[in-house]
């Protein structure tokens, strides 16, 4: 399937969020590598020598940050992709939190299974483990991922429902309000949404939740820019 043109664009996002935002480390205290290692050790226990796969459904699709030996489109059943984790740092602030994606219960999710090159499993996984787990928003599981070439067991990051970042199943309009307003020191929350929808479209993955949100966020950002223009003209 050919990619569809998005309503949301990088030009619109950058115009709406032209001012940089300073980092506030107190907004989200992240775990150190020393704190992360016991969890990594537990998740890899007994898997030495096995192929190491990671299932990507959000930013890992367009920014994996680990070497990739093979990639396959795949499907996880029992979980669906959803913006359900609040982001009070990085792409949001405590006053205007954004959202990031997680897998939540029910349904299915199409994404990408990445196989890492043969290496020490802990060394191979530590970069992605640090990235996904340091903010305590996810729990990690090995899940079966069905691909055209067969089913693989892949490390998958699910929503941590016990963490205060978990927002549950909010209406798309409410999620769009927060994404449109949020920006942190690594950029706008809307950019995360844009790049994820863009990646899905390029892969032929049609996700109604993401597609609805990109249109809603584009509307809100356009309204924000129009309001600014009216203020300038009025002033």
Chain center to CA of 173: 19
Q: Does residue 132 have an active-site annotation?
A: yes
* Cα gap 192→135, rounded to integer Å: 17
Tokens 């949100």 correspond to what residue? Answer: 213
Residues 6+ apart with CB under 8 A from 13: 188, 190, 191, 194, 221
Cα 183 to Cα 89: distance, rounded to the nearest angstrom: 9
Give the whole-angstrom CA distance, residue 14 versus residue 104: 30
Give the bridge partners for 104, in sequence order.
Answer: 80
Q: Rounded distance, CA 232 to CA 66, Å?
A: 46
Q: Given 34, 41, 123, 132, which residue is catalytic?
A: 132
Task: Give burial (CB, 10 Å; 0-12/13-18/19+) of 16.
Answer: buried
Tell me the catalytic residues: 132
């Amino acid at each position: 399937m050919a990619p569809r043109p998005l309503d949301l664009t990088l030009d619109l996002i950058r115009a709406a969020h032209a001012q940089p935002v300073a980092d506030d480390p107190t907004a989200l205290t992240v775990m150190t590598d020393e704190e992360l290692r016991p969890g990594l050790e537990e998740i890899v226990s007994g898997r030495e020598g096995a192929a190491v796969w990671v299932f990507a459904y959000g930013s890992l699709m367009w920014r994996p940050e680990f070497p990739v030996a093979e990639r396959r489109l795949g499907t996880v059943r029992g979980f669906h992709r959803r913006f359900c984790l609040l982001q009070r740092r990085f792409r949001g602030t405590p006053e205007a939190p954004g959202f990031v994606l997680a897998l939540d219960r029910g349904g299915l999710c199409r994404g990408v299974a990445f196989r890492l090159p043969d290496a020490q499993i802990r060394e191979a996984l530590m970069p992605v483990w640090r990235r996904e787990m340091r903010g305590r928003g996810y729990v990690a599981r090995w899940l079966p991922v069905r691909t055209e070439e067969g089913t693989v067991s892949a490390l998958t990051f699910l929503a941590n429902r016990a963490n205060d970042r978990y927002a549950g199943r909010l209406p798309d309009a409410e999620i769009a309000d927060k994404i449109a307003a949020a920006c942190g020191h690594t950029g706008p929350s809307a950019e995360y949404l844009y790049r994820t929808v863009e990646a899905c479209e390029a892969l032929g993955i049609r996700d109604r939740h993401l597609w609805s949100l990109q249109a809603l966020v584009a509307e809100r950002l356009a309204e924000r820019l129009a309001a600014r223009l009216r203020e300038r003209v009025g002033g």
